[in-house]
A and B are shown apart, each in its own frame.
Chain A
Amino acid sequence: MTTNAKKIAFGLLSLLLVAACAEKKEKEITPRDPEAPRADIAYLTDVQHLVRVSLDLRGARPTLAEIEAVENASDPQKKIREYAVKYMEDARFRERVKEIWNEGFLVRQDRPYFPGPPQLLGLVNEDDFARSATQEPLELIAHVVMNDRPFTEIVTAEYTVANETLAAYFDITRPTDQGRGWLESEYTDGRPVGAGILASTSFYTRWTTTDSNQNRGRANAWTRALLCYDFFTRDIIVDTNINLADPNVVNNAVRTNPSCVGCHQSLDPLASHFFGYFIPEDVGEGDRSYPIKTYSADLEPRWQQGTGRDPGYFGTYAGDPNLATMGEQIAADPGFSNCAVKRFASVLTGVSVKELDIDHLVEIDRLHDWFLETDYDAKRLIEEIVMSPDYRIAGPNALTSLELSDKLHGLKLLSPEALNRSLRDITGNKKGDNPAGFGWEMESPLGYDLFENDIYGFRMMAGGYDGNFSTAPAHTVNATHILTLRMASADASGKMVDVEFAKSRSNRRLLTEVDSDTTSEAEIKEQIVVLNKLLYGEVVAVTHADVTDAYTLWSTVAARQDPVYAWKITLGAMLSDVRVAFY
């Protein structure tokens, strides 16, 4: 094509795109209303609602200005919606998206699968290696969501994302002129283009296979993660008369044995897509050359000797099947979009996917329609979820039946990641670059954040999961959780009180009503009222028992020590209260 012809073609394409955009803008999308709030359920107040939205979308509590904006708004729900939209532009929302999807993928690991590339040893710590090497698909999903792309792009993207470390691990070409961090990049080893996360190496290092498994475990890991469909949940009566150690017998059985065929006729064509990946096992540091090879197109046809079934997708077979065609098939599958809705809704409402399937079908159906209407816009879906009555459930009221009260998840457990982020936020150490603020980060060469690690840290002990021995977050507290919460809150409070009192009142985040030498009961109580609002979203009078108890704590400690110390203890106690553990 000549240059002029290219220009004309480009111009026409631009016109078409502009027209398409204009058409899209004109299209008014009206979400179907959710079911009306029920009389037999108690819902969060507007301020409590804002606190929950803020913690869920960015892992931090709202500021006093944000709370007051909601309190003073003529339409508080509209204001909360505005904040929800704003919070999704926060960099911490990116982390939340990754956390939501790791619950399905379980790829996040504390140790990298391979040792770090030698050229980065000494420059990059173990935590960086682990995060880079294990979170590729999560980063791609976050990239799609943060950049407002249709969510289907996670399985159709013609790129992967890589940071400097991941690019050094594998055959990845990453732009060098766009700064640090995760950027759209390309594998150069010939793996199919257009398959998004399906082509990411991290998934295949997390979910390895064996000569006898023939990628079936991987296929199931994908369907579990992306379609919320787990073949293993089928109750299988395995025919123990089959010699499972003999590949020929197994290959015959999965085609002919009635107890095998039911699953394998669906599972095996999926598994046939993954034969191009070869993940070296147990290779010593000195024996490996970087970038590590993990894919070869020459190996793709191995399915013929492996599963023996053509690559396909639940009875659908593409003309020239590969991971990219599989990505298209997944993207077009309502099971995929429905699963995405359930994953977002489950984490945000605290109701398990299984329970959503049983008790919340109407709401999931409504959200799914909304997701489709918005062209798979994840942010708008999330906005719709957090503004729904289901999300705002606070608990039972006097009209609630016992049966219903067991199903009302009105208290959500604060995750270790959110605890960490919220304490960092209020102590001014959001990005980990303020040593005066809160943060339990190990020094190099390990570099682990103790709230996001289980080798040395407290993630599982504070309700998180490692993805191996524990594969789902907790929903309630235990003894180690309480101890972690208390130790962290006290430490954060100790740091924050000094920082706060070093500033003028107008520049403070929490202690806006008192100074370091204030001892007046009225002023102390006024400060406690503000803290109740800031930390719990509760608007209480100075005569409320919550205020009285906090004042009693403050005055008891002040009598023993001094007012500043008393604030360290009181604030630490308020930050580890039941209303922080659950929100």
Chain B
Amino acid sequence: MNRRSFLKTSAATAAVAGLAPRTARAAVNANPAKRFVFMNLGGGWDSTYVVDPKPGFATVSQAPGEMLDYGNIQVWDWRPKVLPTDPDTFVKQFFDAYASQAAIVKGINLRSVSHDICAQRIYTGRQGGTSPDIATMIAFSKGFDLPVPYMILNGPAWAGPYGAAVGRVGETGQLTQLIDPLNAPYVSFRPTAPDEVDIETFHRATALRQQVTRGSTGFNRNRIQDFLDSLDRGDRLRDLGKSINFGGTVQTVVEIFRYNLSMCVMMQGPGGYDTHGGNIAQGPMQDSVFQQLFALFQALEAEPDPVNGGNMLEHTCLMLTSEMTRTPMLNGGAGKDHWPVGAVLVCGAGVANRQVGETGEGQVAMPLNLTTGAVAGQDLISMSSEMFAAGMLSLAGVESYDFFQLTPPLTALHY
């Protein structure tokens, strides 16, 4: 579905829905980030290692370390200094620098302990294969006019019906060969630039004619519109992409944003987190994640933002998560198994600096107030993955009703 027809459809849906009583829509973030980075940690991270520590809890195996208190949020430093000359962990370095821009979300009920299902739920809010993920929904709604609204460096993605808005770099950066076929030595014939212009004119004319004859409405129309949109996107991807090094990670993200190629980027974090045995590996793995994030944030901070003013970081938001968390207690193999509760770090532009939700003894998700994130007081509700995903849309300034209808969004992510 292209944006135009989508907007029509949603308007129609809204009109029909308007016949029935509806709850008031929550206000979306008035000052959302202009760009989003998603980092996925595959396998299910142990949230007690950094974002959801449980020292002193009888029912949670907490790794040694010390609490870092940043006022509104607390995180765990799994390897504090012993000697003054010891280096700080990257966890500490990251939060020392950026804790004031961070929200930590705890206690998302995932209702499954399956990698696949939990991944679908934490990223799409739902499951079933046809629901788009948060990044796709944000990119489709707010970055539709960019060449590749949502670029996947690596990691999982669910485009749902909005596949035309999503693109991939490829495991070994093979996108560079599509951007400039001279990088593809196996290709023996390459049209010149004037040829390409003529070819596109031909493609556009036939596609428009097909839209009249075979795609006047519905599914067919949307597919042909996707083709037409992608012609334009492909051109701009080639033009802008020539200046980008797609072989890196942090630098690639910065360059994608510098050339305004995409609004959202997905990257796979280092490490494999499915530690059914040897859970202690979570510490160094998560530290390497924050090493990369620290480098990313510093690079974005050093990069001027020609479109929005200031530096890039001032307009960028990060979502770091994993498909699930791990059981509170260690098993017989010193590992931890799957746990159906999600935890997320959201950090950067537009984010409310607060803890959102909580887990209690046994790492059980506690009901929370969706507006304040507090787990005490009025209007407490158990947080579903739909509420979280709708909240991420709200954080991005996207009306979540268009995707989640009456699901109340977790607006505590923004002020």
B-binding residues in A (CB < 8 A): 42, 210-212, 217, 220, 232-233, 235-238, 240-241, 243-247, 352, 354, 394-396, 400, 402, 404-411, 413, 440-442, 450, 454-458, 460-461, 469-472, 474-484, 486-487, 490-491, 493-495, 545-546, 549-550, 552-553, 556-557, 560, 568-569, 572-573, 576-579, 581-582
**Do A440 and B171 contact each other (CB < 8 Å), given the known contacts A408-B219, A479-B234, A581-B227?**
no
List 5 extra interface pairs beyond A243-B329, A478-B226, CB under 8 A: A244-B337, A400-B217, A411-B219, A486-B234, A569-B199
Find out whether the CB atom of B207 lies under 8 angstroms from the CB atom of A483: no
CB 8 Å contact bits of B150-191 with A (1 = contact, 0 = none): 001011110101011111101110110111010010111111
* Residue B216 at the chain A interface, CB threshold 8 Å: yes
A518 to B184 Cα, complex, angstroms: 32
What residues of chain A lie closer than 8 Å to B238, measured between beta carbons?
483
A550 to B199 Cα, complex, angstroms: 9
A to B CB contacts below 8 Å, 28 in the list: A42-B214, A210-B337, A232-B114, A236-B112, A240-B364, A244-B337, A395-B218, A395-B219, A402-B218, A406-B218, A410-B219, A440-B187, A455-B172, A458-B178, A460-B170, A469-B152, A471-B129, A477-B227, A478-B164, A479-B147, A479-B230, A483-B238, A491-B190, A493-B189, A553-B201, A573-B202, A578-B203, A582-B227
**Do A557 and B214 contact each other (CB < 8 Å), given the known contacts A455-B171, A469-B155, A582-B227?**
no
**Do A578 and B227 contact each other (CB < 8 Å), given the known contacts A241-B362, A245-B330, A484-B178?**
yes
From B179, which residue of chain A is reached at the shortest CB distance?
A: A483
* Residue B117 at the chain A interface, CB threshold 8 Å: yes
**Do A454 and B191 contact each other (CB < 8 Å), given the known contacts A408-B220, A478-B226?**
no
What residues of chain A lie closer than 8 Å to B167, measured between beta carbons?
461, 478-480
Looking at the assembled complex, report how far the CB atom of A166 sits from the nearest CB atom of chain B, in whole angstroms. 25
From A556, which residue of chain B is reached at the shortest CB distance?
A: B198
From B221, which residue of chain A is reached at the shortest CB distance?
A: A405
What residues of chain A lie closer than 8 Å to B111, measured between beta carbons?
235-238
Find out whether the CB atom of A487 lies under 8 angstroms from the CB atom of B329: no
Find out whether the CB atom of A474 lies under 8 angstroms from the CB atom of B170: no
A567 to B121 Cα, complex, angstroms: 50
A-binding residues in B (CB < 8 A): 59, 111-114, 116-117, 127-130, 147-148, 152, 154-157, 159, 161, 163-168, 170-172, 174-175, 177-179, 181, 184, 186-191, 194-195, 198-199, 201-203, 205-207, 209-210, 214-224, 226-227, 230-231, 233-234, 237-238, 276, 327-333, 336-341, 362-365
Find out whether the CB atom of B206 lies under 8 angstroms from the CB atom of A549: yes
Find out whether the CB atom of A233 lies under 8 angstroms from the CB atom of B127: yes
Find out whether the CB atom of B226 lies under 8 angstroms from the CB atom of A495: no
- Of B117, B168, B223, the residue contacting A476 (CB under 8 A) is B223
Find out whether the CB atom of B172 lies under 8 angstroms from the CB atom of A572: no
What residues of chain A lie closer than 8 Å to B116, measured between beta carbons?
232, 471
Q: Which 8 A-B residue pairs are closest in the complex by CB-CB distance?
A: A494-B189, A405-B218, A479-B233, A245-B327, A483-B178, A405-B217, A395-B220, A238-B340
A568 to B214 Cα, complex, angstroms: 28
**Do A395 and B234 contact each other (CB < 8 Å), given the known contacts A408-B220, A569-B191?**
no
Find out whether the CB atom of A546 lies under 8 angstroms from the CB atom of B206: yes
Find out whether the CB atom of A238 lies under 8 angstroms from the CB atom of B112: yes
Find out whether the CB atom of A577 lies under 8 angstroms from the CB atom of B218: no
Looking at the assembled complex, report how far the CB atom of B237 sits from the nearest CB atom of chain A, in whole angstroms. 5
A120 to B189 Cα, complex, angstroms: 35
What residues of chain B lie closer than 8 Å to A407, measured between beta carbons?
218-219
What residues of chain A lie closer than 8 Å to B333, measured between beta carbons?
211
What residues of chain A lie closer than 8 Å to B231, measured between beta carbons?
482
Looking at the assembled complex, report how far the CB atom of A375 sits from the nearest CB atom of chain B, in whole angstroms. 32
A405 to B218 Cα, complex, angstroms: 4
Looking at the assembled complex, report how far the CB atom of B260 sits from the nearest CB atom of chain A, in whole angstroms. 14
Find out whether the CB atom of A478 lies under 8 angstroms from the CB atom of B233: yes
Find out whether the CB atom of A458 lies under 8 angstroms from the CB atom of B331: no
A349 to B222 Cα, complex, angstroms: 18
From A210, which residue of chain B is reached at the shortest CB distance?
A: B276
What residues of chain A lie closer than 8 Å to B171, measured between beta carbons?
454-456
Find out whether the CB atom of B220 lies under 8 angstroms from the CB atom of A480: no
What residues of chain A lie closer than 8 Å to B214, measured between beta carbons?
42, 394-395, 410-411
Find out whether the CB atom of B237 lies under 8 angstroms from the CB atom of A479: yes
Find out whether the CB atom of A491 lies under 8 angstroms from the CB atom of B188: yes
From A481, which residue of chain B is reached at the shortest CB distance?
A: B230
From B326, which residue of chain A is reached at the shortest CB distance?
A: A245
- Of B174, B186, B226, the residue contacting A477 (CB under 8 A) is B226
Find out whether the CB atom of A578 lies under 8 angstroms from the CB atom of B117: no
Looking at the assembled complex, report how far the CB atom of A507 sits from the nearest CB atom of chain B, in whole angstroms. 22
Looking at the assembled complex, report how far the CB atom of B282 sits from the nearest CB atom of chain A, in whole angstroms. 14
Find out whether the CB atom of A576 lies under 8 angstroms from the CB atom of B175: no
What residues of chain A lie closer than 8 Å to B330, measured between beta carbons?
245
Find out whether the CB atom of B202 lies under 8 angstroms from the CB atom of A549: yes
A582 to B226 Cα, complex, angstroms: 11
A556 to B226 Cα, complex, angstroms: 27
A410 to B188 Cα, complex, angstroms: 35
A396 to B234 Cα, complex, angstroms: 28
From B197, which residue of chain A is reached at the shortest CB distance?
A: A556
- Of B181, B184, B220, B341, the residue contacting A410 (CB under 8 A) is B220
**Do A479 and B148 contact each other (CB < 8 Å), given the known contacts A396-B218, A461-B167?**
yes
What residues of chain B lie closer than 8 Å to A572, measured between beta carbons?
189, 191, 199
What residues of chain A lie closer than 8 Å to B339, measured between beta carbons?
240, 244
From A110, which residue of chain B is reached at the shortest CB distance?
A: B171
What residues of chain B lie closer than 8 Å to A484, measured between beta carbons?
178
Find out whether the CB atom of A474 lies under 8 angstroms from the CB atom of B163: yes
Find out whether the CB atom of B362 lies under 8 angstroms from the CB atom of A240: yes
What residues of chain B lie closer than 8 Å to A394, measured between beta carbons?
214
Find out whether the CB atom of A405 lies under 8 angstroms from the CB atom of B195: no
From B189, which residue of chain A is reached at the shortest CB distance?
A: A494
A456 to B176 Cα, complex, angstroms: 11
- Of B155, B201, B209, B217, the residue contacting A546 (CB under 8 A) is B209
**Do A232 and B112 contact each other (CB < 8 Å), given the known contacts A238-B340, A573-B199?**
yes
A460 to B181 Cα, complex, angstroms: 18
From B158, which residue of chain A is reached at the shortest CB distance?
A: A470
What residues of chain B lie closer than 8 Å to A553, measured between beta carbons?
198-199, 201-202
- Of A245, A395, A490, A556, the residue contacting B190 (CB under 8 A) is A490
Looking at the assembled complex, report how far the CB atom of B267 sits from the nearest CB atom of chain A, in whole angstroms. 12
Find out whether the CB atom of B215 lies under 8 angstroms from the CB atom of A480: no
Interface centre among A244, A409, A410, A454 (most CB of B within 10 A): A244
Find out whether the CB atom of A461 lies under 8 angstroms from the CB atom of B219: no
Looking at the assembled complex, report how far the CB atom of A112 sits from the nearest CB atom of chain B, in whole angstroms. 16
- Of A472, A482, A493, the residue contacting B230 (CB under 8 A) is A482
From A552, which residue of chain B is reached at the shortest CB distance?
A: B202
What residues of chain A lie closer than 8 Å to B362, measured between beta carbons?
240-241, 243
What residues of chain B lie closer than 8 Å to A454, measured between beta carbons?
170-171
A566 to B206 Cα, complex, angstroms: 18
Find out whether the CB atom of B195 lies under 8 angstroms from the CB atom of A461: no
**Do A495 and B329 contact each other (CB < 8 Å), given the known contacts A211-B276, A480-B168, A553-B198?**
no
**Do A490 and B234 contact each other (CB < 8 Å), given the known contacts A235-B111, A461-B170, A569-B195?**
no
Interface centre among B129, B186, B191, B327 (most CB of A within 10 A): B191
